[in-house]
Amino acid sequence: MKKVLIAIDAKKVNMKVLDFACYLARLTQSTLTGVFLDKAQLMETIIKEPIQREAKYSTAVKEMAKVIDENMHQFREACSGRGTNCSLYVESNMEGSDIVKATRFAELLIVDPEMSFKKKSDEIPSAYIKDLLARSECPVVLAPFEFHAIDEVLFAYDGGEASVYAIKQFTYLFPELTGKKLTVLEVNKAGDDLIRDKGKIEELLRLHYPNIEFQLLKGKAADELFGYLLGKNNVFVVMGAFERNVFSGLFSHSTAELIIKAINVPVFIAHHK
């Protein structure tokens, strides 16, 4: 992997998400491209002409433009200080078509699940991020609230094409993590005692991962996955498009703040279209 995007609210850089993104970029020796999302469409003004020469704009707009300019500088400085190659991509289209097209020519998109351009958002992921997840043309990683390390990779597995596709995409994009402990987790509400196609998935994974553990839980997928992850640290969760309802259920157990703190893990999502 060589090209990673990170979605950034142009008015405020989330440094914890940026720290995580820089870690992944360094890990994979990738260039980190900041996609600055600008609802007010001030970015073009900043890029085309210095703020000092924009006398026609109101004081409030000038001040906001200055904030955005400072945030762009902060992004570059933060990446440089973390040994991460970086570039900037500017998007003023809040319908998201520009960033979606950018994902077509990228290998990974990193997002803050709380990012929202509404004054108040009680959803996590926010409506904006949910839409971006559905439309992205490359895999997406939802950044954790706090990040320290990756000690374990967890594959949410059901034997279907979507979950296996996500597993293969993650493995191809992150060969640097194949030495970590790997847990393959299946949740089976039918009460079966066998992991579906275990021999086949194990044969594939053994070619990449030396340390594999299989876990089979019984019950509702969202409930069991939530319970399994509750209190865990340093786990990278991998899910396919089939788990979209599972993922929504995972974030409906309590308030957004509690969920972020309780399940503080990065989540990799890849769609099999």
Three-state SS at 207: coil
d(CA 234, CA 149): 5
Average pLDDT over residues 214-234: 87
Three-state SS at 183: strand
d(CA 132, CA 35): 13
Task: Kindly report, residue by residue over 185-204, the tens digit of the pLDDT.
Answer: 998 876 677 889 999 999 99
Structure tokens at 5: 């995007």
259 near 230, Cβ under 8 Å?
no
Domains of the chain: 3-142 (3.40.50.620), 152-270 (3.40.50.620)
d(CA 170, CA 153): 10
d(CA 195, CA 163): 13
Task: Kindly report, residue by residue over 129-152, the tens digit of the pLDDT.
Answer: 888 888 999 999 999 989 999 999
Cα 148 → chain centroid: 16
Among 96-100, 120-124, 206-210, which is the least confidently predicted range? 120-124
Share of the chain above pLDDT 90, in %: 49
Output the CA torsion sign for 18, 270, 26, 88: negative
Would the pLDDT of 27 be above 90?
yes
252 near 230, Cβ under 8 Å?
no
Structure tokens at 273: 């279209």
Task: Kindly report, residue by residue over 248-263, the tens digit of the pLDDT.
Answer: 666 555 544 555 567 7
First-to-last CA distance in the chain? Answer: 20
Average pLDDT over residues 161-172: 95
Q: DSSP of 94-148, one letter per residue?
A: TTSHHHHHHHHT-SEEEE-TT--SSS----SS-HHHHHHHHH-SS-EEEPPSS--
**What residue has token string 């900037």?**
88
Q: Which helix (H) or strand (E) holds 1?
A: none
Across the chain, how many H-helices and E-strands are there?
10, 10
d(CA 44, CA 237): 37
**What are the φ and ψ backbone dihedral angles of 141, each rounded to 5 degrees?**
-115, 125
